Structure 1
Amino acid sequence: MLLLEANIVEQISSVGTHPPHVEQPLLAARGSEAAATAAAAAEHGGSGVEPGLRCELLPQLEGGGGDEQRAGWRTVPARCVLYIESYMLGGQYDRDVETAVECIVGYADGLVVGDDGMDAWVLDVDDTCLSNLLYYQGKQFGYGAPFDPTAFKSWARRGICPAIPQVLILYKKLLERGYKVFLLTGRDQETLGATTTSNLILQGFIGHERIFMRNKTYRGQGAVAFKSTIRKQLVAEGYRIRGNVGDQWSDLQGDCVGDRIFKIPNPMYFVP
């Protein structure tokens, strides 16, 4: 969901419920922006946002229908493409990420970091640390063709994903505070390991404790199962996962999710 202007902020209870450890800095969609997007879609030959199809829920940070809509889509409906494009490129996405990061930093700064070096944070990589906006923009944000894993792998192999600047700031602040940072991604270790590591370093993600990727042991596992296994491994090693950051709910669900989870908005795709 979208960041609200101060005069139309709604209480989180009006949107729905969520687990108590979920941090939700962003609340409901802006009706004025949704109306403007619908009008623009009509000008481009579309019918706007039809009843039951709420494009404005796609960047949501709170379970309110967006994920349920996307879960049944192989491609993004034509009438939502303009909305996603406007959200991602018009400045609202950047402002929402900045708000989320401010919330995360406030939480992290309020914790007491132990002297044993076992206070940890887990961060996802794709569209949490590194942006794939250029790739999805070239694919019309998912309109017309389903996700193409071969094409995405070719993109990732180029190693040119830019950092999401607000998250890079967060990353550095966590390290400065003495937290151990672990990066956890569903990317394939064998084919994308070296490129991903290099890409992260070139973009300034230096100093993390470890990066976990899928190896042959985890191929075929869903995101929740794979990431749960890795987090359980960290807890078994004695780490205290104080926070967990990702752009997909599947980054933040399952076992050993941490003391608090934080979702970065992403209307471009859905990973179950």
Structure 2
Amino acid sequence: MNAELNNIRGFEVVPGECVGYIGAYMTSTQYEVDAQLAAEESFLFLTNNFQPTGDGKDAWIFDLDDVLLSTVPYFKMHHFGGTKTNRESLEAWMKEANAPAIEHLLTLFHLIRGRGLKVFILSSRAEYLREATVENLIAVGYHGWTDLILRSEEDKYTCAEEYKAKQRSKLVHQGFHLWGIVGSQWSSLGGYTTARRIFKLPNPMYYEY
């Protein structure tokens, strides 16, 4: 819980006594209910507040992993964060392009597109994973995004919060109006140049910084 509240930061592995709880939660109906509520609140905010600017540059940002696509199958093989993993192992799994969609976020994705907003997917995945990522997204039902922003070699060693804030700043300087961000990590939501509203999905399996 304190990891979710951003009180505990920078952990590399989930404490052994928490692994069972996290595994049970991430595979439970409660996780699905929590994801559904976050998606519903996101769309409710848009329904109640969105006024098109008329310039075609109203935008919404989604993070990718554990927002649009689930990494639960990978972390299930690694004790839900209780076993230390490395980037190479995770990226090898990502290259297989078999991550399932998080269904309530798939619905939200298309609802937001249907309201005429430009959808940007902003991820910490490396640029070389683009082909596999696009293949995976399309296979599970995503299409029509405006841009998929992945981490370049230039940003390889930049912390996630700074990298994502910089990419959002670029969008704002291009004239886009950021209405909302959905992320599963606090680093996806913090920093400068944020949106009118941010929405956090639960993700106690790892900490991205």
Q: Using the alignment, how far apart are the partners of 1:70 and 1:252 within structure 2? A: 15
Q: Where do 1:23-102 residues align within 5 Å? A: 56-58=1-3, 60=4, 63=5, 67-71=6-10, 73-102=11-40
> Considering only CA atoms, is the larger Rg found in Structure 1 or Structure 2?
1
Name which of 127, 133, 138 aligns with 2:77. Answer: 138
Matched, 1:237 2:165: no
Q: Using the alignment, how far apart are the partners of 2:96 and 2:7 within structure 1? A: 32
Q: Where do 1:178-189 residues align within 5 Å? A: 178-189=116-127
Q: Using the alignment, how far apart are the partners of 1:142 and 1:171 within structure 2? A: 27
User: How big is each residue's C-alpha offset from its partner over 1:177-217, in whole Å with a ceiling of 9 and x where there is no partner?
Assistant: 01110000011102x11100111111111001001001112
Structure 1 segments (4+ residues) deviating >4 Å: none
**1:228 matched residue in structure 2:** 165
Q: Using the alignment, how far apart are the partners of 1:220 and 1:154 within structure 2? A: 19
Q: Is the 8 A contact 1:244 1:261 kept in 2?
A: yes
Q: Using the alignment, how far apart are the partners of 1:121 and 1:271 within structure 2? A: 21
Q: Is the 8 A contact 1:101 1:166 kept in 2?
A: yes
Please provide the CA RMSD for this pair: 1.2
Q: What is the identity, as a one-letter code, of the residue corresponding to 1:131?
A: S
Q: Using the alignment, how far apart are the partners of 1:164 and 1:68 within structure 2? A: 26
Q: Using the alignment, how far apart are the partners of 1:244 and 1:138 within structure 2? A: 29
- The secondary structure found in structure 1 opposite 2:202 is coil
Stretches of structure 1 that go unaligned for 5 or more consecutive residues are 1-55
Q: Using the alignment, how far apart are the partners of 2:17 and 2:73 within structure 1? A: 21
Offset of residue 255 of structure 1: 1.6
Q: Is the 8 A contact 2:12 2:206 kept in 1?
A: no
- The secondary structure found in structure 2 opposite 1:95 is helix
**1:194 matched residue in structure 2:** 131
**1:24 matched residue in structure 2:** none
User: How big is each residue's C-alpha offset from its partner over 1:154-195, in whole Å with a ceiling of 9 and x where there is no partner?
Assistant: 1000000011000000000000001110000011102x1110
Q: What is the identity, as a one-letter code, of the residue corresponding to 2:56?
A: G
Aligned residues: 208
**1:8 matched residue in structure 2:** none
Offset of residue 88 of structure 1: 1.1
Q: Which has the higher contact order (CA 8 A, sep 6+)?
A: 2
Name which of 254, 258, 272 aligns with 2:191. Answer: 254
Q: Is the 8 A contact 1:113 1:177 kept in 2?
A: no
Q: Using the alignment, how far apart are the partners of 2:125 and 2:12 within structure 1? A: 21
Offset of residue 74 of structure 1: 2.5
Q: What is the identity, as a one-letter code, of the residue corresponding to 1:148?
A: N
Name which of 106, 120, 126 aligns with 2:44. Answer: 106
Offset of residue 247 of structure 1: 0.2
**1:152 matched residue in structure 2:** 90
Offset of residue 70 of structure 1: 4.6
Q: What is the identity, as a one-letter code, of the residue corresponding to 1:109?
A: T
Q: What is the identity, as a one-letter code, of the residue corresponding to 1:116?
A: D
TM score, norm. by length of structure 2: 0.96
Name which of 135, 139, 150 aligns with 1:213. Answer: 150
Q: Using the alignment, how far apart are the partners of 2:182 and 2:203 within structure 1? A: 13
Q: Using the alignment, how far apart are the partners of 2:17 and 2:171 within structure 1? A: 43
Identity of aligned residues (%): 34
TM score, norm. by length of structure 1: 0.74
Q: Is the 8 A contact 2:168 2:193 kept in 1?
A: yes
Q: Using the alignment, how far apart are the partners of 1:216 and 1:149 within structure 2? A: 15
Q: Using the alignment, how far apart are the partners of 1:68 and 1:200 within structure 2? A: 32
Q: Using the alignment, how far apart are the partners of 1:70 and 1:120 within structure 2? A: 30
**2:106 matched residue in structure 1:** 168
